[in-house]
Chains A and B, each alone.
Chain A
Amino acid sequence: MTDRTPLPPEPSVTRAPRAGVSAAHAESGRAYVFAWLALLALTLLSFGAHFLELGALATAVSLAFAGLKATVVVLVFMHVRQESVSVRTVAGMNVAWVVLLSVGIALDVAAH
């Protein structure tokens, strides 16, 4: 990674400077490979769970697996851990808002 003179104090960007500047990205690709294998494994497990008689739990289990897989993609592939607090908050809000809409609808339909 190139050596850079420290930049002057930045207007409003006080988080660790990101892409292109930080030396932390002399990374190995291992994390990506493990993430990929984990995703395949979780897919397989979810597929397998489908054949079990889980009754009412089946939906929750399949969505839980989906949630885990999405988390892997977001944390590892989308580099959310290296992103700013704002980006991480936005990522979290995605989940919350979709859940909010579904819950609001569910509470109507289910309680009819």
Chain B
Amino acid sequence: MTTATLPLDVAGASSPPDYLRAESGAWSWLNTRDHKRIAVMFLGAVNLSLLLGGVFALLLRLELLTPERTIMSAGAYNRVFTLHGIVMVFMFMIPAIPTVFGNFLLPLMLGAKDVAFPRLNLASFYVYLLGSALTLWSMVAGGADMGWTFYAPYSTTSPAAVAPVGLGVFVLGLSSIMTGLNFIVTVHTLRARHLLWHKMPLFVWSIYATSIIQVLATPVLGMSLLLVAVDRVFQLGIFDPTLGGDPVLFQHLFWFYSHPAVYIMVLPAMGVISEVVCTFAHRPPASYRAIAYSSLGIAFVGFLTWGHHMFVAGISVLDSGLFGVLSMFVAIFSAIKVFTWTATLRGGSIFFSTPMLYFFWFLFLFIFGGMTGVAVATSSLDVHWHDTYFVVAHFHFIMVGSTLTAYLAALHYWFPKLFGRCYSERWGMVSSILVFTGFFFTFMPQFLLGNAGMPRRYYSYPEQYQWLNVLSTGGASILAAGLISTAVYLAVALARGARAPQNPWSSRSYEWLSAAPPPTHNFLGQPDFERGPYDYHLPEPPPALAQPSPGE
């Protein structure tokens, strides 16, 4: 095994085939240990989940076009919003960026050949499929209508098929824990020589922080849903008021996970943004440590705030006050990141493209989403806004406006790396504008609706809310069009796009040092990372030269 003097990869006749072509046949994919293939399989799966969740969303928005029944009954409506939430949160938002981009990029960014436990990685994919199947089976078995939050006592007494959904989410949680565990161990033990913690790309820090949350928080969700499922099947009654149970205790367990869960959803997105900003501004981050440590800060402080979802559930004033204050602290870390990203742009040589456009949407929408988060964390204000469309708008600004936007940025930014092809920038920009416009008109009206008093999860509403609902549905159609168009031109690029150069964005980050797409073992020999990942003051590393492979 030779080291630093070798070029890190070779192109040309004697180079190893890329990971997509290294082996063929379905079994070589289904039984792969290669983190890159696993990432691509996850890509297919989470995109399907996004599509399904999106279809549910469109159905909801169609129903809300008129104040009374439009296309479905009230019972059907409850099932649709429940499954929209569950599919989007557990089958898309939580896994997407970590399982696709985390899996693909972590070893590349660390100079490793694979993640620490490749078979566990493959298993996590099948566990994800099993969890998804269980969850979706409930759709045909009577649906679930208690909302994605599973609150007792309705979840334990509803006639709908709550138990399979609860168990499905439990299994999805197992997949999440497996992923997080794998990534933490990978970062600790598989960094290349010279790759100190403070030279890792910032995306790795955010995935690492996310993984910590996944391991610590998910089991508590697992237990809360297990208790609901067991209660339904065996009448455990642990949250049943008629047996002396306390439904608020369910909420404590549920939100102990589900608040940190929103950081599982947003931290990887922030990691993507850090990479995109530095590459397209051609500058190192204004403060590497600020971004790296604020990721850890969010992960840890995020565990101290769960009670802000329960301000009106009947918790004590003491607990309310504490959680309210602690919730404010989390915002500080997000603000640090926003300021650092913005400062990074200053003096940079900004190069405009689809990923960068998504960054600008992200910045605008994340600031809105974040500030409204601080607003609802203020308990005296939340009394008015809780369970209204104000909260719905707030979290969609973060989930769609930030995480989905960053996911799209990542898809475009790393598309050449994953597939060795270029997508059409024109289509990219146009679709991106559609996505932003659609998003804005879907969710901005919802702040107004919520503030005017329209409750969430309501099937029917008073006449005066109709025009804002119509506007919101209009926006949703545009958003859908933007997303569908994105899927189409990316698929076309996959099949017929121009061959991408190794480093189309002239990034200095480590994943661009290997071929596009990379060979199965990522690098030849043991890479040597004496440079930093943001050394824009140094010339770009030369692309792979055509040289005979030294008999690897």
Contact = CB atoms under 8 A, between A and B. Distances in A.
So, do A and B actually touch in the complex, CB under 8 Å? yes
Nearest to B527: A11
Contact of A12 (B193, B216, B249): B193
Interface residues of A, number: 17
Interface stretch (A37-45, A54-62, A63-71, A93-101): A93-101
B191 interface: yes
B307 interface: yes
Contacts of A111: 316-319
Contacts, number: 51
Contacts of A97: 216, 303
B252 A108 contact: yes
A55 to B, nearest CB: 24
Contact of A107 (B195, B220, B319): B319
Interface residues of B, number: 27
B192 interface: yes
A13 interface: yes
Given A111-B317, A111-B319, A104 B191 contact: no
- Which residue among A13, A100, A105, A108 has the maximum number of chain B CB atoms within 10 Å of its CB? A108
Given A12-B188, A107-B316, A108-B252, 7 more contacts: A11-B190, A104-B252, A105-B249, A108-B316, A108-B319, A109-B316, A112-B316
A100 B306 CA distance: 11
B319 A11 contact: no
The 5 A-B residue pairs with the shortest CB-CB distance, nearest first, are A111-B316, A12-B191, A111-B318, A108-B319, A108-B315
12 contacts: A11-B190, A11-B191, A11-B192, A11-B526, A12-B191, A100-B303, A101-B220, A101-B256, A104-B306, A109-B316, A111-B316, A111-B318
Main SS at interface, chain B: helix
A20 interface: no
A86 interface: yes
Interface in A1-40: 9, 11-13
Contacts of A105: 249, 252
A93 B306 CA distance: 18
Contacts of B307: 104, 108
Main SS at interface, chain A: helix
Interface string B312-336: 0001111100100000000000000
A93 B216 CA distance: 9
B190 A12 contact: yes
Given A105-B249, A108-B248, A12 B318 contact: no
Interface string A81-96: 0000010000001000
B46 interface: no
B226 to A, nearest CB: 16
B70 interface: no
Contacts of B216: 93, 97
A12 B319 contact: no
Contacts of B306: 104
A97 B195 CA distance: 31
B189 interface: yes
Contacts of A112: 316
Interface string B154-196: 0000000000000000000000000000000000111111010
Contacts of A100: 303-304
Contacts of B319: 104, 107-108, 111
A97 B248 CA distance: 20
Nearest to A111: B316
B378 to A, nearest CB: 19
B80 to A, nearest CB: 33
Nearest to A9: B193
A108 to B, nearest CB: 4
A104 B260 CA distance: 15
B192 A12 contact: yes
B189 A13 contact: yes
Nearest to A11: B193
Given A11-B193, A93-B216, A104 B256 contact: yes
Contacts of A104: 252, 256, 306-307, 319
Nearest to B196: A12
A107 B249 CA distance: 12
A29 B246 CA distance: 49
B447 to A, nearest CB: 30
A108 B123 CA distance: 39
Nearest to B252: A105
Interface in B248-301: 248-249, 252-253, 256
A13 to B, nearest CB: 6
B317 to A, nearest CB: 7
Contacts of A9: 193
Contacts of A93: 216
A7 B124 CA distance: 34
A11 to B, nearest CB: 5
A30 to B, nearest CB: 32
Contacts of B189: 12-13
